[in-house]
Chain A
Amino acid sequence: MIAEHDVLVVGAGCAGMRAAIEAFDAGADVAMISKLHPTRSHSGAAEGGINAALGNAKEDSPETHAFDTVKGSDYLGDQDSIEIFTREAPADIIQLENWGAFFSRQPDGRLAQRPFGAAGSPRTIYAADITGHVLIQVLWEQVCKRDIKVYEEFFAWQLVVDDGRCQGVICWDLLDGGLKTVGGKTTVLATGGAGRQYRVTTNAYACTGDGMAMALHVGVPLKDMEFMQFHPTTLYPTGILLTEGCRGEGAYLLNKDGERFMKRYAPNALELASRDVVSRSEQTEIDQGRGINGSVMLDMRHLGAERIIERLPGSRELAMTFAGVDPIYEPVPVRPGAHYHMGGVATDSDGATELTGLYAAGETACVSVHGANRLGGNSLMETITFGRRAGRAAAEWALSHTTIDVPEAVERDAERRLRALLDRTSGERPWKIREELGNSMLENFAVFRREEQMERQLEIIRELRERYRNVYVEDKGDVFNSDLTQAIELGNMLDTAWCMVQAGLARKESRGAHARPHDYPGRDDVNFLKHSITRWDGEAPELSYSEVRMTKWEPEERKY
């Protein structure tokens, strides 16, 4: 063990930094562990905005925000958590502004708010179309102000569980090499999503489900893993995100004839229906031959140069750089791409998991405020509100307990497993397994899901995991051995993908992002108004279910 802290935060994106700041302010000795420098985290790539019922643009209330979120979740979200979320969000936003966040303003000088999908009021606070970047910067500034310790480019690999509680993290030191154990009275997982399981994704290379896999491997349950959100507007061919803010500002979705096809699927909300609805509509257009190169078109021409340059400069830059298209003059080819994991490590509304001393927040966690489908702008808000709550809870527990014990046997065992991987002198390089996982997940477990495809995908994952046992790390060095960490990441992706497909196969209904139009086209509240829970039994994931926490909203049919 190289060091001990009261609170360890694994991951340093928005949720991680917010948790660390809160734990620090609560008086705890806190440190962050991250495989990337904090500002490199993928929260920074969020574009469109962050939701809180400030009511600046139009009358709004936490109540309305909560209802929109419940409905958006296809009634799978836990309503008590959602109520906490929408009630506390406005104060969190004000705090970010007071800390110096560079948000966009309305003419009277207050924070501007733009319309987003499935929201009853313009509720999304934004900073042009680089909102995530602005949040990452302001949180990093606050981390610098507090001089919070960061174990930078430390790759968290395994949680230390002893005496029935989480007591630290075993990491691979990317810069200097070697396994290093950092002890913590409590640990907050904030490692983000796992979108890299798919070939077409908005996610960074770093989004490989490390936190979910670490929790899974020590027996902590994951929740609602079948729900992967497909974002309707990812750039063809790279999958790079174009914000929902484009549609919030008024952009159209067109098929190859120029028809605004959303009118046929969501006659009222049109392009601003919820993401699952829009992605399915696009996929239907594409599947029925009304797309172009497997894409539909995002048309901003009518917005005019001035508005595009002022409100959507980043999206324009992305479209020009990666698709060679200037949205002022031409529509941009887009298609649904894997974007956000609604599921994750099961937590209560304080971020606490089933394992004492272990907390989770952000995309890694499933609180669950997003249920079966997340609303745009709710994930950044979740990182802040639940990052703060998890940081507070972790600090309070840590400050009332004293000891940390990392048994040497645990460290020795980790060392042995690592050596087995590093010392292997031949085998299969990771890239082919990774590519096959990405292609097959996209083919068999994407926007629309079929029983036989999901079964085939389970087979594929089983075979890939078999091949992975013989994965070969070519780099044997200590300094910046990203060959090693990429191999470990692949293992994490395979295990979490297995959980997802297994849970998907068992959910015999269509709800939110889980759509089975061919065999179970409707929502089945009698049998499936419940969370899936996945546990690792040592060899394989095991599925069970838990109740959805309801407060005041009864399930209704969902129309936009």
Chain B
Amino acid sequence: MQVAMKIWRYDAATGERALREYEIDAPEEATLLDCLDIVKDKVDGTLAYRKSCRMMICGSCGMRMDGAAVLACKTRMFDVAKEGRVPVISAMGNLPIVRDLVVDMDPFWEKFKAMKPYLQPGYDRPEDGREYRITQERMNAVKKEALCINCGCCVSECNAMESDPEFLGPQALAKGFRFVGDPRDAATVERLEQYSGEHGIWECTRCFFCNERCPKGVDPRDAIAKLGAEAIRTGIDRDMGAKHAKWFVRSTETTGWLRETELVPKTQGVVSSIKQMKFALNLIKHNKAGLAFPPHVAANVDEARRLRRLVLAQGRLGSAGHIQGERALAKLEHGHHDGGDPYGPGSFPKPYLPEDTE
């Protein structure tokens, strides 16, 4: 098939940037990575990009196609070529470009290392000198986080990091939850304290781009939400973000709706609220903030309260309560269709052992 693509080239020595178009002939099963290889081999040997495993496990080939982060090895080009589209290939975002599609991963790894990314068990090893005994079910709390291959696709797309480059970011925080959620780790409180600080958990803007773009189904935003919930459960709630979240719960539990007028003082404190008086008066003037006292109570507030009681009864405070955005990677990514008959008409013959035919 004929594949055309435009690649953002960048020369570190001169600082020159240029969008170049390439047209190549590639086999139908070719991935974006295969196409880049063909360009490098046969058209322009100076094209720079990282690669290694070509089976979406090493995490080398994160880059952007039409502005969205992908693993080049996972991206089949057949549909793009068939539609005659000419995708634009560029380096990942939020990381300095070294050359062409190669980014400097140092800032990425610095944040990773800042998480104390290793198990800190309470004691050196179990007394009997054997493995820790833990059920699969408990380990599964960090199953998705353990899938992370550190490719950087989530970091590339992170909107919060774009405004605060020091934000720990989705991959580091997902790694953090990998240990907070691990029943063997004994440094939970220290970790939550640290991750709740400036540039931490509460800086995430919940745009969900990381979940959307993660090629492995790690769902980093879910990990951040779980860290937040665990922090609050542990009583680590000094951060405005934590207070904000807590007020949401309190407000819906008492009146069944969100009382925004009280949200600012509860989250930011009295002094900060006074400073924002002018803004608040403006909101009132335009009928955007309720001043009713006593506050309006929703008709079916009981439903919200029942929900709350259910969460408490099931012990689903903290990360255990987070099923939001949960998806079985294999199901959603590839369109798992239930109910088909693997042995139905037109299917591959049923297996048999040789003597069955005799």
The segment from A140-148, A366-374, A532-540 that touches chain B is A140-148
A501 → B minimal CB distance (Å): 25
A329 in contact with B340 given A104-B136, A429-B45 (CB within 8 Å): yes
Return the chain A residue nearest B349 by Cβ: A258
Q: Which stretch (A68-76, A317-325, A355-363) binds chain B?
A: A317-325
- Write the chain A residue with the least CB distance to B104: A175
Contact with A along B138-154 (1 / 0, CB 8 A): 01001100110110000
Tell me if A386 counts as interface (CB < 8 A to partner B). Answer: no
**CB-CB under 8 A for A45 and B58, given A98-B125, A109-B134, A317-B334:** yes
Q: In the complex, are the beta carbons of B98 and A313 less than 8 A apart? A: no
User: What is the bound-complex CA distance between A145 and B115, given in angstroms?
Assistant: 11
Hey, which chain B residues are within 8 Å of A326, CB to CB? 334, 336
Q: Which residues of B contact A305 (CB under 8 A)?
A: 336, 338
In the complex, the chain B residue whose C-beta lies closest to that of A308 is B330
One digit per residue, 1 when the CB lies within 8 angstroms of any chain A CB and 0 when it does not, for chain B 326-358 equals 001111011010101011000111111111010
0/1 interface trace, chain B 89-111, chain A, CB 8 Å (1 if under): 00000000011101001000100
User: Quick one: which of A242-295 are within 8 Å of B by CB?
Assistant: 252, 254, 257-261, 263-264
Residue count of chain A within 8 Å CB distance of chain B: 83
Cα-based distance from A142 to B150 in the complex (angstroms): 16
Counting CB contacts under 8 A, is A102 at the interface? yes
- What distance in Å separates the Cβ of A321 from its nearest Cβ neighbour in chain B? 6
- Asked if A180 is an interface residue, CB under 8 A from chain B, the answer is no
The residues of A that contact B179 with a CB separation of less than 8 Å are: 100
With the chains together, A104 CA to B12 CA distance in Å?
45
Is A109 within 8 A of B135, CB to CB? yes
Q: By the criterion CB–CB under 8 Å, are B119 and A258 in contact? A: no
B55 within 8 A of A: yes
**Chain B residues near A477 (CB-CB < 8 A):** 11, 13, 46, 99
- Say yes or no: B352 contacts A259, CB within 8 Å: yes
Q: Does B244 contact A (CB under 8 A)?
A: no
Partner of B57, one of A104, A130, A254, A328: A130
Assuming the A-B contacts A110-B133, A474-B45, A482-B48, are A141 and B40 also in contact, with contact meaning beta carbons closer than 8 angstroms in the complex? Answer: no
Judge if A301 is at the interface, Cβ distance under 8 Å.
yes
Are the C-beta atoms of B351 and A260 separated by less than 8 Å?
yes
Chain B residues whose C-beta falls within 8 Å of the C-beta of A40 in the assembled complex: 50, 52-53, 58-60
Residue interface mask B38-69, A partner, CB < 8 A = 1 = 00111011101111111111111000000000
Identify which of B119, B142, B179 gathers the most chain A CB atoms within 10 Å of its CB. Answer: B119
Q: Chain A residues near B278 (CB, 8 Å)?
A: none
Q: How far is the CB of A141 from chain B (nearest CB, A)?
A: 4
Q: In the complex, which of the residues A104, A105, A331, A429 contacts B41, with contact meaning CB atoms closer than 8 Å? A: A429
How many Å lie between the Cα of A326 and that of B351 in the bound state?
17
The residue in B58, B102, B146, B338 that gathers the most chain A C-beta atoms within 10 A of its C-beta is B58
Q: What residue in chain B is nearest A251 (Cβ atoms)?
A: B351
Q: How many angstroms between the C-alpha atoms of A252 and B60 in the bound complex?
A: 33
B353 & A240 in contact (Cβ 8 Å cutoff): no
**What distance in Å separates the Cβ of B194 from its nearest Cβ neighbour in chain A?**
15
- Residue among A107, A329, A331, A473 having the largest count of chain B Cβ atoms under 10 Å: A329
Establish whether residues A330 and B117, one from each chain, have CB atoms under 8 Å apart when the complex forms: no
- The reply to whether A205 and B54 form a contact with Cβ atoms under 8 Å apart is yes
Which B residues lie within 8 Å of A134 (CB)?
Answer: 146
Q: Are A100 and B59 in contact (CB under 8 A)?
A: no
Interchain CB contact under 8 A, A299 and B12: no
Report how far A105 CA is from B105 CA in the complex, Å: 34
B139 x A100 contact (CB < 8 A)? no
* Contact mask for chain A residues 101-120; partner B; CB cutoff 8 A; 1 contact, 0 none: 01111011111100000000
Cβ of B318 within 8 Å of any chain A Cβ, yes or no, is no
Q: When the two chains form their complex, are residues B147 and A100 in contact, meaning their CB atoms are under 8 A apart?
A: no
Q: Which residues of A contact B342 (CB under 8 A)?
A: 301, 328-330
A 135-188 contacts with B by CB, 8 A: 137, 141-142, 144-145, 175
Cβ of B29 under 8 Å from chain A? yes
Alpha-carbon distance A301/B55, docked complex (angstroms): 23
B13 contact from A37, A316, A479, Cβ within 8 A: A479
Do residues A39 and B340 form an inter-chain contact, with CB atoms below 8 A?
A: no
Quick check: is A190 within 8 A (CB to CB) of the other chain? no
Q: B135 and A313: CB pair below 8 A?
A: no
Contact call A175/B330, Cβ cutoff below 8 A: no
Assess the B354–A259 pair: CB atoms within 8 A.
yes
Q: Which of B48, B49, B58, B135 contacts A44 (CB 8 A)?
A: B58
Nearest B-chain residue to A96, judged by Cβ: B131
A237 to B129, CA, bound (A): 46
Does B286 make an interface contact (CB < 8 A)? Answer: no
Contact A301 B45 (CB under 8 A): no
Which residue from chain A places its CB closest to the CB of B29 in the assembled complex? A237
Complex interface: chain A residues within 8 A of B105 (CB): 37
B74 on the interface (CB 8 Å rule)? yes
On whether the beta carbons of A36 and B146 are closer than 8 Å, the reply is no
| B197 within 8 A of partner (CB) | no
Task: Give, as a whole number of angstroms, the nearest-CB distance from B188 to chain A.
Answer: 14
Smallest CB gap from A134: residue in B: B146
Q: State the CA gap A481–B46 with chains docked (Å).
A: 7
Known: A42-B53, A317-B334, A479-B48. A144 touches B355 (CB 8 A): no
Given A44-B53, A45-B57, A475-B45: A144 and B113 interface contact (C-beta under 8 Å) = yes
A328 to B52, CA, bound (A): 29
Given A40-B60, A45-B53, check contact A313 B330 (CB 8 Å): yes
Chain B, Cβ-Cβ closest to A312: B330
Q: For the complex, is A94 an interface residue (Cβ under 8 Å from B)?
A: yes
**Quick one: given A134-B146, A258-B352, are A111 and B131 in contact (CB under 8 Å)?**
yes
A406 proximal to B (CB < 8 A)? no
Specify which of A99, A137, A252, A316 is in contact with B351 (CB 8 Å cutoff): A252
A142-B118, A145-B118, A474-B46 known; A41 vs B330 contact (CB < 8 Å): no
Known: A45-B57, A429-B45, A482-B48. 14 other contacts (CB 8 A): A37-B105, A40-B58, A100-B179, A109-B132, A110-B130, A110-B131, A204-B58, A258-B349, A260-B351, A260-B354, A263-B353, A313-B330, A326-B336, A430-B41
Q: Considering the complex of A and B, which 9 residue pairs feature the smallest CB-CB distances, nearest first?
A: A100-B119, A474-B45, A258-B349, A109-B133, A431-B41, A141-B118, A301-B342, A97-B131, A145-B118
Which positions in A face B, CB cutoff 8 Å? Answer: 36-37, 39-42, 44-45, 93-94, 97-100, 102-105, 107-112, 127, 130, 132-134, 137, 141-142, 144-145, 175, 204-206, 237-238, 240-241, 252, 254, 257-261, 263-264, 297, 299, 301-302, 305, 309, 313-314, 316-318, 320-322, 326, 328-331, 429-431, 473-475, 477-483
Q: Can you report 23 residue pairs joining A to B where beta carbons are below 8 Å apart?
A: A40-B52, A41-B58, A44-B149, A45-B55, A94-B130, A102-B139, A102-B142, A108-B133, A109-B135, A132-B57, A144-B118, A252-B351, A259-B354, A260-B351, A260-B354, A309-B330, A316-B330, A317-B56, A318-B55, A431-B41, A479-B98, A479-B99, A481-B48
